[in-house]
Amino acid sequence: MKPNTDLNEALFERARRVIPGGVNSPVRAFRAVGGTPRFVRRAQGAYFWDANDQRFIDYIGSWGPMILGHGHPAVLEAVQKAAVDGFSFGAPTEREIELAEAILALVPSMDMVRLVSSGTEAGMSAIRLARGATGRNKIVKFEGCYHGHADALLVKAGSGLATFGNPTSAGVPAEVVQHTLVLEYNNIAQLEQAFALHGADIAGLMIEPIAGNMNFVRASLPFMQRCRELCTQHGALLVFDEVMTGCRVALGSAQSVYARDLPGFAPDLTVLGKVIGGGMPLAAFGGRRAVMEQLAPLGPVYQAGTLSGNPVATACGLATLREIGRPGFFEALSRKTRSLVDGLAAAAAAEGVAFSGDCEGGMFGFFLLPELPQNYAQVMKTEGARFNTLFHGLLARGVYIAPALYEAGFVSAAHSEEDIAATVAAAREVFQTLRG
Ligand SMILES: *Cc1c(COP(=O)(O)O)cnc(C)c1O
């Protein structure tokens, strides 16, 4: 056998012997795009370096958390200090209060918040709370939205509105998803029909307000307004899954973006993760006081966690929120993200490649389609082979975007104008091969 000189390939071989698929979260495996995953050795600012010491401009940023870029000095210092004082206590700390206060200050629809360790855990707990607080069982979700891998949320649309969903994973009994109704995103008629049929049994409607798990698709204003009205009218809780968008599309999260156009708009419950942990395992869910007081130890809805409110993670989250709260931070980040999307659009136009893109704050998405899609089925009209050519073309030029066409992208404060320009130049070269 000839020696393997690609260290990523060697690591991948070794990983596959001991970890299913060689990865600890499926999309990292490059199954959608083919090829060998890059094993990250270290990261700094807007870059990471793989096992071969090749540098990449990083547009994943741990799938959103690294909004300041990697290794931000203030965050690093906070984490190092916290680690010296202890990793985990299983008893309360002042820093948990500080982080809770910081989160509530940013997201005023939340009166109270509970800290947990992952977005999955937060979403699962929010559903249990919505059910416990309303005494109802049914949950509405939308095709293409991801809310973590809790059993009841791993579900796709069934054959009709009256039939509820089918599990998308083996190991999830049909009985477990029988209360989950899956609707088409941005489809007002279907939403109205679902509430007309099941309104009195619906505990909550869970939605990614700007969906980042089908690339980047905004809920339209009329659709969002209708979600709010129908939940209020039928006594269901509107649950915003802002694990990705929270403190990423705006300091006040996506709900503040909708409140610009819909005065007074607010969800009943909000799920946060990713940015609020700054790269550490930390997530949260919160909302109106009367609902949150249903949680144990005050109320009958059980929820707990050994590592919840972890002292090192809360230090990382707090330091991150402090930095993104500085005046002008989001304006600068938004400008940069916009310049990337505009640059890519101009490069595609110059090469005659169909392209549409959108962004909000530090989150973006683009499609090799002439118009922005409005739902999952439209997103999936992108030709996979063309996306894969783009992905591998960029990768070969040192630009790392998500290895699947249904994922959003992220710009950090550490990305420079030169990084953006280099990315656009690389994309233009690849677009030449996609012409026609
Ligand atoms: C990432 C994500 C989750 C799951 O969070 P984990 O920390 O990976 O469990 C849930 N909802 C949305 C919208 C996400 O983007």
Task: Categorize the per-residue pLDDT at 3 as very low, low, confident or very high, splitting at 50, 70 and 90.
Answer: low
Average pLDDT over residues 136-153: 95
Closest Cα to atom 11 of ligand 1: 147
CA atoms within 13 A on the CB side of 259: 14
- Ligand 1, pocket-test mutation among 244, 269, 363, most atoms within 8 A of CB: 244
In contact, 35 and 216? CB cutoff 8 Å: no
CA of 152 to the centre of ligand 1 (A): 15
Average pLDDT over the chain reads 96
CA distances from 52 to 6, 18, 80, 188, 396 (A): 7, 22, 28, 50, 13
- Ligand 1, pocket-test mutation among 63, 118, 120, most atoms within 8 A of CB: 120
CB crowding 344-374: b at 16 or more within 10 Å, else e: bbebbeebebebbbbbbbbbbbbbbbeebbb
What atom in ligand 1 is closest to the CA of residue 63? 1
Closest Cα to atom 6 of ligand 1: 119
Residues with CB under 6 A from ligand 1: 118-120, 123, 146-148, 208, 212-213, 241, 243-244, 273, 283
Give 430-434 contacts, CB < 8 A, sequence gap 24+.
Answer: 430/389, 430/390, 430/393, 430/394, 430/397, 431/347, 431/348, 431/350, 431/351, 431/353, 431/390, 432/351, 433/389, 433/393, 434/351, 434/353, 434/368, 434/386, 434/389, 434/390
- Spatial strand order of the sheet with 363-367 comes to 356-360, 363-367, 409-410
pLDDT of residue 5: 81
What atom in ligand 1 is closest to the CA of residue 208? 13
First to last CA, the chain: 42
Q: What is the pLDDT of residues 87-131, one digit of tens each?
A: 999 999 999 999 999 999 999 999 999 999 999 999 999 999 999
**With 90 as the cut, is the pLDDT of residue 436 above it?**
no
Closest Cα to atom 5 of ligand 1: 119
In contact, 249 and 232? CB cutoff 8 Å: no
Task: Decide: pTM greater than 0.85.
Answer: yes
- Ligand 1, pocket-test mutation among 28, 213, 406, 407, most atoms within 8 A of CB: 213
What atom in ligand 1 is closest to the CA of residue 271? 11
- Ligand 1, pocket-test mutation among 274, 280, 282, 410, most atoms within 8 A of CB: 274
pLDDT of residue 435: 85
Average pLDDT over residues 1-29: 90
Positions annotated as catalytic residues are 146, 241, 274
Taking the C-alpha atoms of residue 341 and residue 333, their distance in angstroms, rounded to an integer, is 13
CA of 60 to the centre of ligand 1 (A): 14
What atom in ligand 1 is closest to the CA of residue 123? 10
CA distances from 361 to 163, 173, 251 (A): 38, 39, 9
Tokens read off for 128: 């249990």
What atom in ligand 1 is closest to the CA of residue 274? 7
pLDDT of residue 407: 94
CA of 399 to the centre of ligand 1 (A): 24
What atom in ligand 1 is closest to the CA of residue 281? 7
Average pLDDT over residues 250-262: 98
Q: Which residues pair with 363 in a beta bridge?
A: 360, 410
Q: What is the pLDDT of residues 310-365, one digit of tens each?
A: 999 999 999 999 999 999 999 999 999 999 999 999 999 999 999 999 999 999 99
CA of 119 to the centre of ligand 1 (A): 4
Q: What are phi and psi of 221, to 5 degrees?
A: -60, -50
pLDDT of residue 38: 97
pLDDT of residue 249: 98
What is the secondary structure of 337-373 as a DSSP string? Answer: HHHHHHHHHHHHHHTT---EEEEETTEEEEESSSS--
pLDDT of residue 162: 54
CA of 116 to the centre of ligand 1 (A): 12
CA distances from 420 to 63, 69, 209, 349, 404 (A): 18, 14, 27, 17, 21
**With 80 as the cut, is the pLDDT of residue 73 above it?**
yes
Q: Which amino acid is at 320?
A: T
Taking the C-alpha atoms of residue 210 and residue 216, their distance in angstroms, rounded to an integer, is 7
Taking the C-alpha atoms of residue 131 and residue 303, their distance in angstroms, rounded to an integer, is 13
Strands 283-287 vs 217-218: parallel, antiparallel or unpaired: unpaired
What atom in ligand 1 is closest to the CA of residue 121? 9
Residue of 232, 227, 231 lying closest to 209 (CA atoms) = 227
CA of 146 to the centre of ligand 1 (A): 7
**With 80 as the cut, is the pLDDT of residue 17 above it?**
yes
CA of 122 to the centre of ligand 1 (A): 9
Taking the C-alpha atoms of residue 147 and residue 157, their distance in angstroms, rounded to an integer, is 15
CA of 428 to the centre of ligand 1 (A): 32
